[in-house]
Every structure is written in C-alpha cells, then in structure tokens.
Amino acid sequence: MLPEMGDSSSTLLSQEDELRIGREMLHSLEKNGAIIQDPIVAEYIESVGHSLSSAAITDRNHFHFFTVNASSINAFAMPGGFIGVHAGLILASESESELAAVVAHEIAHVTQHHIARGVEQANQMNLPMTAAVIAALLLGGGDPQVANAALAATMGGAQQMQIDFTRANEKEADRVGMQLLASSDFDPRGMSGFFAKLQSESRYYGDGVPEFLRTHPVTTSRIAEAEDRARQYPLRLSDNSIQYLLVKARLRLMLAKSLDTLSSELEAEAPTDANEREAHRYLQALVQKKNGNVAAARERLTALLEQNPGRIAYIHELGQLESSEGEHQRASELYLEGLEQYPGNALLTRAYCKTLITDGKHDKARKSLETLLRNRPNDSEAYRLLARLEAESGNLAASYLAQAEYYFLKGEPHSAIDQLNQAKRLSPLPDYFAARIEARLKQLKEELARHQKGKRNNEG
C-alpha cells in the first residue's frame, strides 16, 4: 500500500492549482520545442508511466508523461502530475526496469507532495513565477538555451531560487518508487542498478555531472538501502520488451550528431539477443530512410513486418514511407491491416486518417476520427486532423469548432475562443451549429474566468 503523506502544502496549492500550473509549464516546454512529439516514443513513455502510476494509492487522477528532447541524463516531476524524462536518460538506461525505476521515483515525488512542498518553501515569490522558475531549473541541465530563455522571461529582477530535494524526500521517493516497481512487474533491482551506474560513471563527467545527480544526489548508503529493499521482493528476471528497444533505436537516431557516424557504429555492432538484433535492424532501416535510401528501407521494414506481423512500430514506419512516396493506397492497406489486429489503436487510426484526408476520402476519415474521439475525447491530434479535414471539405464552422478543441487541449484558451468567434461570424450558419458554438464559447469563457481568478488569488 502506498499512502500519501500528510503535509502543509495544501495551504498553498490546491490540486486544481497544481494541475493548472503543470499544464502551463508543459505548454511552455512545447512552445520551446523541448518535448519530443514522436508518436511511438510518446505512447511508450505514457504506457510505462501509467503502468506504474496505476499501482499508486492516491487521490490524484491525472498523470502525464513526456520525453524531453535533450541528450542529458535527467528526469523531473512538475506540479499536477506532469513527469518528464530526458531522451538521454532513456538511452543511458541498460534495462527497462532501470528506466521504470526513475519514472517510479518521480511519480513518488508527486504522490508524496514533494513538489508542492518545494513551492511552499519558495513562497517569497508569487506562485506562477515560482512554477516557471522551477521548470527552468529542472531543464537547466538538459538544454541551457531553453532554461535560460525561461528564466529570462519569468525571473525579471526576482531572486534566483535553488530547487533541491531533501534527503528525506529522496529516501521517501525511493521507498515508494520501489513499491511501485514491484507492483508493476518491473525488477525492483533496477533502481539500485541505475543509481550505482550513475555514481560509477560520474567520476568521468568532470564538471558535467548529470543533472539527475545534482537534483537527486546518489550516495553509497542510498544505493545500499535500495539494494536492501529490492531483496525484500521476489527475484524477477525479465527481458527488455521489444517496445523499449525500438524506442531507444528511434531516440538514438534523433539524437545522433552524424548519420555517417551512426551508420559506422551500427556496422561495428553485433547484438546477440534476439530482441536486440531486431531493434538493430529496425534502426538500420530508419537510418536508410533518413538517408533517402527508400528502396533499402522499404525492403528491410517489409522483412521485419513479415517476420513480426502486427508490430505497430513497423506498420507505422512503413506506412509513413509509402505515404511519403505517394503510395497512399498501400499505406492505407497497411494501417487497415494493423487496425484489424488492434481495433481502435489511436496511433494507427490517426495515421490512417491522414492518408484518407490526403486522398480526399473525407467521409471515411471523418467517421474514423469521430469514433476515435468518442473513446479518447482528449486526443488533441485527432481534433487537429478533424479541423484540417473539415476545412478541406468546405465545412468551415466544423473546422473552427475542431480547431478550438485542439487549442483548448493544448492549453491555449484564448486561441480556442478566437476560433469560436471566427465561426460565429460565418454566414449563413445552421441553427444547430450556432447553438453548439454559443454553448462551447460560454463554457470556455467560464473556464478562462476561473483560470484568471486562480492566478490573481495566488499572486495576491
């Protein structure tokens, strides 16, 4: 059982405040291009995070996990259950359980209210500025340009604050995180293993110690405590999932400084594990595709899919390749075959609808998107596609409505309201559309008023 510790942070931050601030911070990171939007990577880190957070006993019903576009070894939690993992940390992990251990640790920081306590201790600033500074400092070790821009925009003449988790916070997060690991079928030894590796390798970093070690200091006694806790759980040996290895392959390509260097590295590598060999071939196909060697990439991806029918990453990548070559019918067939095996899969449905829209098959695309949105009402990308579809179909009112929902979900209520106001100016406007627009406009204005009232209260 994973209880929430009592604390005084609620005197400063309500759960609604935390969620609002976390969304604002996430939106700021997205605008700065700090978040990897790759759908394969995004779905994987969400799946790992949710498998862990579902084991937590908490009154919080919102967690969101994302990958930061940075090669540094870091991870952090923000108010409202928003948890970021740097791409460099995923690549530095040697097992899925090591990655899960870090995510579990950050989930524990949220459920134990360590973030809110840190904000409370910084009460010399108003709440929005404090939150912005925390976001800047958390990212500082990964992307100095992003961090410096955020600090410059939010700090002004305010005094810089230092964000460090206390030793008690870290111990508590280790304990709770370990329980989450064990409850989610990951190997609890992943925590001590990753900490030990970081400590061992830190001697080679000089002044460039990983930011994770700066904000989460690792000591010999802490590693020993993690090892002792892990021994209290049954030994669990598990292979790395193919999804974990495929995501590492994609990130390795994204972070590669040179395709030639990466190609040379792949030539020299000879993985022995079956899953690792498969991921190695996948990365070779990605490099070939990136280099414009379409025929070779198609051949390798087709072979991978034939040997591993239903592997979503291969269906998606091959479909993208075919679409880029104008083979929209072939891409649609690939996505449909995948959807027969995974009905309602969001990734394949969105890709299928993109192909249909490009082919002008708007009715089919609309039906698929509407079904997807009934099951996933917070799918912002589906709304963006629906807006494009309706615009191309000449249904401007419906396009504005869909675009408004996209902006709302992305944390831009002013832009959402602007879209609805543009829809109102259309003439003639069917009565049912006018009623829908007016009702949604009222809801968004009320939401914005509550949002602004909350900011004023916190600033006061």
| Catalytically annotated residues | 106, 174
Cα distances (Å, whole numbers) of residue 231 to 107, 108, 200, 436, 455 = 22, 20, 21, 58, 47
Please name the residues in contact with 308: beta carbons below 8 A apart, sequence gap of 6 or more. 278, 314
* Contact status, residue 227 vs residue 176, Cβ threshold 8 Å: no
Taking alpha carbons only, the member of 250, 330, 341 closest to residue 318 is: 330
Phi/psi for 378 (5° steps) reads -105, 20
Relative orientation angle of helices 114-121 and 167-183, to the nearest 10 degrees: 160
Residue entry with tokens 């009565």: 431
Decide the pairing of beta strands 82-86 and 64-68. parallel
Q: How would you label 124-140 residue by residue, b for 16+ Cβ within 10 Å and e otherwise? A: ebebbbbbbbbbbbbbb
DSSP 8-state symbol, 67: E
* Contact status, residue 99 vs residue 191, Cβ threshold 8 Å: no
